[in-house]
Structure 1
Amino acid sequence: MHVVLVHGAAVDPAVWEPTARAIAHRTGLRVETPARPQSGDLDTELAFLAPWCVGAYVIGVSGGATLGLELAARGAPLAGALLHEPAAGSLAPGLLRHVVQGFADDGVAGFGRALYGPTWDPTCTTADSATVGAELAMFRNFEPRPFAPAVNVVLTVGANSPPPRYASVRALSDLLGVPWRIQPGVGHAAHLEGGYLPGGSTPELDRWVATRQG
């Protein structure tokens, strides 16, 4: 039993440290925060993540959530997933328009501020402009696909997120046939805004841990 926290674009695994500590303290589980290659190639990213995620409860925010969706679509043997505001492809055209503009205006800094808001700063990432640009292109080209109904996936949207984010999560929920809920006290950058899963838990994670522990 373990938990894997997947980071998105323009953030390094270190952004997960408060969340990882809280989950480990609450549950006693091993928590892993892999440093994915940020290659800009979906197949490369998933090939890297897949071994980490076998039998794992996967938690992702933004691009990390998007990769979680695609792992599920490709049949990766996940124990479950909690995915916060993933990309939605043609279900939500224009969702990343402001991020594209931020990147065009001010590179990595413009991207980070546009996507994550004021809780992001340049210390959140070691990625350069070429890496972030490749990641942005990959996530803009992402198209969600249905997966086996037995996969235990829950989508979340931040209580403080704007209407287009709510619309995108609802559309994904309808397409994939998975539940969604509102994550209180945060916007898109849930892992930066006081730590995702305050106290190291959510109802979904608690249920999974209780089931696994018998």
Structure 2
Amino acid sequence: MATTRVLLVHGAATTSRVWDRVRGLLREDDLDLVTPDRASSGTLGTELAALADDADGAVVVGVSGGATLGLALAATDRPLAAAVLHEPAVGSLVPGLLDHVVAGFASGGVPGFGAALYGPSWTPAMAPADPDAVARDLAMFRRFEPAAPHPGQGPVVVTVGELSPPARHRAAWALHDLLGVEVRVLPGTGHFVQHDAPEALVDVVRSVVRRAQPHPPG
């Protein structure tokens, strides 16, 4: 049986290094882990095109903006084995979901953005070197509107942190109601799950990988 590819997609104000704790936990799982550094172009089509080849047939895992891109990939005809998406943007389904992040960026630039979105465990050293990357990402994700997964996609699971604010929970269940995605609440964590509680995310990834793999006959 071919090794399952798992594509880990980072969000705004982070790089592929944000996946180090998740990668460490999955190191013994016989998975092909792919962790690209996004260009943060500010254009959804450009971002999806850059991820498309790695996403083809993969389990796509994203947090925050990475989850938003995963949701957008699932809506294309690029076949995904599955997706695990933690707290994506949901556009007009929950107006104001990103208002506190916009305010943080307006008042404090990248440090204000990171603190507002991810909380106190995020540091400016986690941001990309390009000083304009966060502004481009923020503008792109604020324009995003979700669409239904393309027919035939593998399971799409949206997760939300138990400790995340009510708006994040409303967003997850709005996606369930509109698009039919599964929702799981991750215990003891908020938005920055891949850093603050990677075990909770990895548990879901492992369960989805098992579902995405075909069962051998008999």
After TM superposition, is the score higher than 0.5? yes
Match of 2:174 in 1: 171
Aligned partners of 1:129, 1:95: CA distance in 2, in Å? Answer: 24
Aligned partners of 1:213, 1:22: CA distance in 2, in Å? Answer: 24
Aligned partners of 1:81, 1:150: CA distance in 2, in Å? Answer: 13
SS of 1:192's partner is helix
Q: Does structure 2 conserve the Cα–Cα contact (< 8 Å) formed by 1:2 and 1:55?
A: yes
Q: What's the offset of the Cα at 1:75?
A: 1.7
Match of 2:141 in 1: 139
Q: What's the offset of the Cα at 1:206?
A: 4.9
1:72-83 pair list within 5 angstroms:
72-83=74-85
SS of 1:191's partner is helix
**Which of the numbers 44, 48, 51 marks the counterpart of 2:50?**
48
Q: Does structure 2 conserve the Cα–Cα contact (< 8 Å) formed by 1:107 and 1:129?
A: no
Q: Does structure 1 conserve the Cα–Cα contact (< 8 Å) formed by 2:82 and 2:209?
A: no
Aligned partners of 2:199, 2:47: CA distance in 1, in Å? Answer: 23
Aligned partners of 1:132, 1:185: CA distance in 2, in Å? Answer: 27
1:71 aligns with 2:77: no
What is the RMSD computed on CA atoms of the aligned residues? 1.6
**Paired amino acid for 2:42:** G
**Which of the numbers 104, 107, 111 marks the counterpart of 1:105?**
107
Q: Does structure 1 conserve the Cα–Cα contact (< 8 Å) formed by 2:59 and 2:209?
A: no
Match of 2:41 in 1: 39
Aligned partners of 1:22, 1:150: CA distance in 2, in Å? Answer: 30
Gaps of 5+ in 1: none
Runs of 4+ with deviation above 6 angstroms:
none
SS of 1:174's partner is helix
**Paired amino acid for 2:140:** M
Q: Does structure 1 conserve the Cα–Cα contact (< 8 Å) formed by 2:6 and 2:32?
A: yes
Match of 1:114 in 2: 116
Q: Sequence identity, in percent?
A: 50
Aligned partners of 2:94, 2:129: CA distance in 1, in Å? Answer: 27
Q: Does structure 2 conserve the Cα–Cα contact (< 8 Å) formed by 1:19 and 1:197?
A: no
Aligned partners of 2:62, 2:78: CA distance in 1, in Å? Answer: 15
Gaps of 5+ in 2: none
1:156 aligns with 2:162: no
